[in-house]
Amino acid sequence: MLILATINILSAITFLLAFAFLRLQPINDRVYFPKWYLKGARESPSHGGAFVRKFVNLDMRSYLKVLSWMPAALKMPEDELISHAGLDSAVYLRIYLIGLKIFAPITVLAFIILVPVNWTNITLQSSKVQHSDIDKLSISNIPVGSKRFAAHLTMAYVFTFWTCYVLLREYEIVATMRLRFLASEKRRPDQFTVLVRNIPPDPDESIGELVEHFFLVNHPDHYLTHQVVYNANKLDKMVKEKKKMQNWLDYYQLKYERNTSQRPTTKTGFLGCFGSKVDAIEYYTSEIERIEKEETDERGKIMKDPKSVVPAAFVSFRSRWGAAVCAQTQQTSNPTVWLTEWAPEPRDVYWDNLSIPFVYLTIRRLIIAVAFFFLNFFYVLPIAFVQSLANIEGIEKAAPFLKPLIEMRTIKSFIQGFLPGIALKIFLILLPSILMFMSKVEGLTSVSSLERRSAFKYYIFLFFNVFLGSIIAGSALEQLKTFLHQSANEIPRTIGEAIPMKATFFITYVMVDGWAGVAGEILRLKPLIIFHLKNFFLVKTEKDREEAMDPGSIGFDSNEPQIQLYFLLGLVYAVVTPFLLPFILIFFGLAYVVYRHQIINVYNQEYESAAAFWPSVHGRIIVALIVSQLLLLGLLSTKGAGQSTPVLLVLPVVTFYFYKYCKNRYEPAFVEYPLQDAMRKDTLERAREPGFDLKGYLMNAYIHPVFKGDEDDEKFSISDEPEAEQVLVATKRQSRRNTPVPSKYNGSESPSLAEIVNDQRL
């Protein structure tokens, strides 16, 4: 175990020292501080000075402060952090802070009370079950029927109440932060806009006319404008393909400029490795021209084809109050049409899924649910294989000829301490991408909802495959011989004793995935290599350099479920094997500092959901708490402490009702927008800016990115309204007689799609 810890600690220290050195080099400044460059608040230290100083930091005094980034990361106040990085990022950091608040007192109590209680027994020494010194610190070392289980029972209550108290306080704090953020936030288009889906077809009206008529009738005092949604997915693919070709053209042009004596060549086949050899510059120039022609044709098709308009629209209102009423109410007696929800902010919209017919969503989600079940099922096999690596005796039994090699101290320590965690980590590398793809197939319409759904799937996967799979598969493999040589009545007791013994594997996992993984996160080795490759081969302008160094967002869909796994491990093993707790505590402390640094200096959040993910975070910690209680209940039942069952059954029930209380008390702040707050903010805004042109501000907010100009920030409005001037909405339906207001659109006010595209080309 000591060698195991040494390997992982040295790996983490190596990564941290490498980061401390690399971040000081001017050539790497855009990799480790890209957020400040994107904000325009930092200039490259490579500008000016001696040639060597553009690449290497020659100030020896700066190398003496290798850990200065840690206090710098903790120095920024939370309010300033919210202003700098957004509420999502600030609240994300509170997940790590909750881990510290929960597990710091629990660790102290567990080591003061439970560790001495477990250690001062000789149960495992006289048992046939395989064990290690760590197992002597666990509940498995308590003899069957011992009165010492009262200590574990008491600590289970203490840990539960403390965890619930911390969660309650944090839920209250985060809910207050969200409401304060929404109240103080500057004007944003999504505050006034609702996404309307499943608009019923009408043979006499276009989608745009139908939307305008419906909201003029049903929201006459608050409706302001709307933007229909176009199916521009094919055009979007063309734009991305053209950009890819342009990158290759830039690369070969730079290559030719560096060596004008020879024209660069490429092959036209797969990955440029097959097919006929051609002049690279001429080839990619012709490809770009071909794509531009196809792009022009596709734009024309979208302009003329009514089928390009999907039955969805972004509808904007004169006030936040009007938008809140529409978004939070049912629009018709038929609950399957005119479905309204708050529109994501423009950066958060996932445009590809807006074109999916609403009727297909249920079918898609059913297919993905089945696929996700089989994905979980088949991943059990590699997990079981990984667990077999965690036990030397298991390998020796399966392959006796390897025993001399395995018994070597270095090899044995590597197998037990490093290989299982690394192998499991490798198996999980591609999983987040697979789960994100599955979430996209489900048809969610915002990036934030995609990340939350993907995070939910990832957590389910980690729970069943990594946690339960490791315990069940590992215990079965380790105890197979014992099972075969004992009566059936003894098997439940053996399983009860074996489950705590998986703490060794999870300690390994925490050190490999947690300690070394977090240290690897701050090193950013992969982004470092990619940036320098792009900077050397593709970058021609400052805009190219900004794209090359853009770090993206923090990756909530993959990081948050992994954090939740540590909550699960900590809560489950707090009573069972307290020796695991310091490793969990170190992870949360190191991760908090590292990710605070990354959020301040690196990650550029792509959207702002005002911490809409917090109810999911809270719910998953509650699930971990209930699972820990149920597992302890099952474990004590195998240890002759059946009389404690009624006492322990109270805990899951109390925890569940605590969850229901928090859900009813605080979750509405994350789902609904209070009308009182909306009216207050509208009133203040009208008093401060009585002449603000809200319609002009909202008219172009939700235009598909492919219709925006590439070189300027001006937004263009898209409408499918006819150009002929009209006073009222043209409709043959009887409800037209009740329309109290003239049409807000006519040919002179809302340009057609053709006019917009032509304007972009001028």
State the total domains in the chain: 2
Residues 136 and 261 in one domain: no
Same domain, yes or no: 206 and 172: no
Q: Does residue 353 lie within any of the structural domains?
A: no
- Position 567 in a domain: yes
DSSP annotation string for 314-338: EEEESSHHHHHHHHTS--SSSTTSS
198 shares a domain with 321: yes
Q: Is 482 within the bounds of a domain?
A: yes
| Residue 40: alpha-carbon gap to chain centroid | 26
Instruction: Classify residue 56 by its DSSP letter.
Output: S
Residue 700 has what pLDDT?
A: 85
How far apart CA 492 and CA 46 sit, in angstroms, is 66
What's the mean per-residue pLDDT of the chain? 81
Q: Are residues 455 and 482 in the same domain?
A: yes
* 158 and 219 inside one domain: no
Of the candidates 5, 11, 72, the one whose C-alpha atom is nearest the C-alpha of residue 594 is: 72
Q: Are residues 553 and 575 in the same domain?
A: yes
Domain match, 136 and 257 both: no
Helix axes 2-22, 409-417, angle to 10 degrees: 70
Question: Which pLDDT does position 725 carry in this prediction?
Answer: 37
Distances 570 to 119, 190, 625 between C-alpha atoms, Å: 20, 39, 10
> pLDDT tens, 662-714?
999 999 999 888 999 999 999 999 999 988 999 989 988 898 888 875 433 33
Q: Please, what is the Cα angle at 621 between 433 and 557, to 5 degrees?
A: 15
What lies within 8 Å, CB to CB, of 57 at 6+ separation is 24, 25, 26, 63
- Report if residue 405 sits inside a domain: no
Identify whether the C-beta of residue 477 lies closer than 8 Å to the C-beta of residue 386: no
Run of H or E residues at 266? strand 265-267
Same domain, 175 and 224: no
Domain boundary among 344, 368, 383: 344
Among 656, 496, 631, residue whose Cα is nearest residue 569 = 631
Q: Which of 260, 259, 253 is nearest to 280 (CA)?
A: 253
424-480: pLDDT as tens digits = 677 778 888 999 999 999 999 999 999 999 999 999 998 988 887 777 655 444 444
* DSSP code of residue 309: E
The residue written with tokens 């969660």 in the block is 167
Reported confidence tier of residue 743, pLDDT bands at 50, 70, 90 = very low
Tracing tokens 């605590």 back to the chain, one arrives at 658
Instruction: Please check whether residue 581 lies inside any domain of the structure.
Output: yes
Which pLDDT band holds residue 304 (cuts at 50, 70, 90)? confident
Nearest to 140 by CA among 635, 675, 618: 635
Please check whether residue 696 lies inside any domain of the structure: no
Q: Specify whether 574 is located in the same domain as 477.
A: yes
Give the E-state strand segments of 318-410 in sequence order: 339-342
Which residue range is the domain that position 287 belongs to? Answer: 189-344
Write down the pLDDT at residue 365.
Answer: 93
Counting every residue written for the chain, the total comes to 762
Look at residues 344, 368, 394 and tell me which one is the last residue of a structural domain.
Answer: 344
Average confidence (pLDDT) over 47-71? 72
Between CA 327 and CA 331 the distance in angstroms is 9
> Which band of pLDDT confidence, cut at 50, 70 and 90, is reported for residue 738?
very low
Q: Which residue has the tokens 């040589």?
A: 485
Check whether 597 has a pLDDT greater than 80: yes
Stretch 735-749: mean pLDDT, rounded? 41
Tell me: do 140 and 230 sit in the same domain: no
Residues 194 and 181 in one domain: no
Q: Are residues 194 and 174 in the same domain?
A: no
Q: Would you say residue 70 lies in a domain?
A: yes
Comparing CA positions, the residue from 457, 464, 454, 459 lying closest to residue 380 is 464
pLDDT of residue 101: 96
Which of 642, 671, 700 is the endpoint of a domain? 671
Question: Is 67 within a domain?
Answer: yes
Nearest to 174 by CA among 90, 54, 100: 90
Q: What share of the chain is helix, strand, coil (3-state, %, to 5)?
A: 70, 5, 25
Q: Which helix H or strand E contains 234, and what residues bound it?
A: helix 233-258
- Beta carbons of 432 and 375 less than 8 angstroms apart: no
